[in-house]
Amino acid sequence: MSYPLLKDVSGAVAAPAADPALFDHELVGLLLDRPGGEPLAVLSERIFSLFAGRALSPVPSEEIRGCGLSGPEADRLLAAIELAKRLLWPDDGRICIRSPQDVCRAAAAIRSAGKEHFLALYLDARNVLIHQEVVSIGSLNANIVHPREVFRPAIATGAAAVILAHNHPSGDISPSQEDLSLTARMVDAGRLLGIEVLDHVVISSSRFISFRSESYI
C-alpha cells in the first residue's frame, strides 16, 4: 500500500490560512442569523466543543438542540455540515487518503480543539478510509496513547494501514520529542502486526506538518 503524494512533498507543508475576516462565532452568526440573545461567542464555543473529535460524522439534531439551538437552527447547521462533506468529498462517498492535505480534511473537526485530540484513520489496501476514531483526548500539553488503543480498531476493521493525526492547540506544529517517540512506537507495533503506519500529521487551526515528508517515518 502506498501514500504516493507524500513522496513528492518535502519540508513542512502549510495549509491555506483560514479567512482572517471572520471569526468562528461570526460564521455561526451568519449561518443561524440570530438577531440577539445569547452571545454568539458562547454559543459558538458550545457548538465547536460538541463537534470536536467527530470530524464530519453525523450528530443527531436532538444533541445539537441541546446546545441551545431551535429545531430549524439545528436543521440548518446539519445541512451546512452535509454540504461541507459533499464539497470536501464529491465523488462516490468514498474518502481516499492520498496526501497530508486529505488527512487534514478528514481531521477538520479537531484542528481548533482546545485539547489535544489523537485521531487514527484506518485505510484499506486502496487508501480508502474505512474507519476513523478519536483514540485519546489529552490536556493542553500532553496526550498519552498506547499502541493497543490504536491497533485494536485496525484489526477489528481489517485495515491495511493507519494514519495518525493530532492537533497542537498552541498553534505550534513542531513535533515534540514525545510525538517522535510515540510515532516510533506505533511504527514498530504496526510492523509487528503487518499494519503499516503511513504517516503522522500534526495540525493546528491553519497549518500542518507531515512526519513522512519530514523523514521522521
The SS3 assignment for 43 reads helix
- Please tell me whether the overall predicted TM-score, pTM, comes out greater than 0.75 for this model: no
**CB neighbours of 9 closer than 8 A, spacing ≥ 6?**
99, 100, 210, 213
pLDDT at 35: 62
Q: What is the block-wise mean pLDDT of the chain (217 residues), using blocks of 10 residues? A: 36 41 69 69 75 58 74 80 67 75 84 86 89 81 76 92 91 86 92 93 86 86
Distance CA 46, CA 186 (A): 33
- Asked whether 99 and 5 are in contact (CB, 8 A), the reply is yes
pLDDT at 55: 52
Q: Whose CA is closest to 217, among 174, 194, 185, 171?
A: 185
pLDDT at 175: 87
Strands (E), 115-170: 117-123, 129-137, 161-167
